[in-house]
Amino acid sequence: MPESIGTAEVSFIQVSPSDERAAILLADLEREYDERYHDLLDEAAEEEINRYPADRFLPPDGAFVLLLLDGEIAAGGAFMRFDDDTAEFKRIWTHPGHRRKGLSRRVLMELEAEAARRGYSRVFLTTGPRQPEAQALYATSGYTVLDIIEVEPGFLVHPFEKALEPAA
């Protein structure tokens, strides 16, 4: 059932990561990663965006979710299997023109609900050191901060986890 923000209708759809609608999210996420991390990483953001095969984000083990505002892509995210009980959230993004409206929190809640429906009991995710807004989102959404991980020299990621309530 669609919700609304002001006069805008909010709805969710699930697509394949190779769907042209997902490409909008992935291209802007790549741009954002390149802007934030170009001086910290040896690889372009495109490498991170394409690190996992698209089928990892497809049912039954994964999902790629887009949030639409009046039918236009405004935010989204995905998950894939981390282990038997854990979904790993990836690619959580909000269009720059739609930030500060609570859309990322809605995406996070939708991903959690979908992961629970798929039988996962835990979520794991990481975010980079130059994404304080993402760190704040997870910290205020019931996620536990885990020990920082150095994924390559000088690049530390901030991991989080959360237990999921079983699906109704």
pLDDT digit string, tens, across residues 22-73: 998 888 888 888 888 777 766 667 677 778 899 999 999 999 999 999 999 9
Residue 152 has pLDDT above 70, yes or no: no
Is 126 part of a structural domain of the chain? yes
pTM of the complete model: 0.89
- 61, 73 contact by CB (below 8 A): no
Mean pLDDT of 80-94: 95
Is 168 part of a structural domain of the chain? no
Q: Residue 104 is part of which domain span?
A: 3-163
Compute CA distances 16 → 19, 84, 94, 132, whole Å: 5, 22, 18, 28
Beta bridge partners of 159: 126
Is 97 part of a structural domain of the chain? yes
Look up the CATH number of the domain holding residue 110. 3.40.630.30
Residue identified by tokens 């039918």 is: 71
Residue 2 has pLDDT above 60, yes or no: no
Which residues touch 21 (CB under 8 Å, ≥6 apart)? 13, 15, 66, 73
**Core vs surface per residue 91-108: b (16+ CB within 10 A) or e:** bbbbbeebeebebbebbb
Is 12 part of a structural domain of the chain? yes
**In the chain, how many domains are there?**
1
